[in-house]
Structure 1
Amino acid sequence: MTELKEGDQAPQFTGKNQHGEIITLSDFKGKKLILYFYPKDNTPGCTAEACNLNDNFDDLNQKGFHVIGVSPDSETSHQKFIAKYGLRFSLIADTDKHILKLYGAWGEKKMYGKVSEGVLRSTFIINESGEIEKIIRKVDTKEHTQQIYQNLKL
Structure 2
Amino acid sequence: MSPQPRTRPRPGSRRSARSRSDAAPPTLTCPTRQTLDRLADRWTVVLIGQLENGPLRFGQLRDAADGISEKMLTQTLRSLERDGFVARRSDAEKVPQVWYMLTPLGHSVLEALAAVRSWAHENIEEIERSRLAFDTQEHQKF
Higher helix share: 2
> Which structure's CA Rg is the greater one?
2
**TM-score, normalised to structure 2's length?**
0.28
Instruction: Flag the structure with more relative contact order, 1 or 2, with Cα contacts below 8 A and sequence separation at least 6.
Output: 1
**TM-score, normalised to structure 1's length?**
0.26
Higher strand share: 1
